[in-house]
Amino acid sequence: MSGFDLAKKERLFWRKPKMFRREYELLLDGKPLAWLRQRGWFPVQADVFEHPEAEPVLCVTRRGLWRQTVHVKTLDMRLPHAYPAALSWRGELTLLLDNGRSYRFRPANFWHTHWELRDETGRLCLTFRRNGWGFGGEIWLEDLSLPPDELRFLIYVAWNVVIMKMDDQAAAAAG
């Protein structure tokens, strides 16, 4: 998200541009900001890129079958680092960052189409809504007082969790 002023925007969009590819785009005013590319199946991994031909800035891996853990590997040193976090079957995740802050990400409705990220005080930081077909959605930036690199990091990780849980729902429906 470097090169874009997020302090003046309150909504981002994400989409899956090609149906049979495991790739998503994050957009601001119709311009791509980041790409998320999934690879592997067990464990599921996703790389986040801020330029299509550049190296990834973040790699998120989900490990485990019954007790799942999300491992976030920061590849851009401007972004914070997070400790491995347990991912509940509902998609709840508590991220503990190396700077001592923690954030809780959870679904806000039964159908898992609306998600919230809150800080340790309960203040709402991000809201995610995916569309009914699962090919995209919106991200509202609720707390613009967060440091820009930390905000980017939280958007990327939470965006990835929404997509992982969306894939889980699709697999369950197909089964």
Quickly count: other Cβ atoms within 10 Å of residue 175's Cβ.
Answer: 5
- pLDDT band (50, 70, 90) for residue 161: confident
What domains sit in the chain, N to C, each tagged with a CATH number? 8-174 (2.40.160)
| Residue with the two structure tokens 């347990």 | 86
Instruction: Specify the pLDDT at position 1.
Output: 45
| Residue with the two structure tokens 């997020």 | 6
Instruction: Specify the pLDDT at position 82.
Output: 94
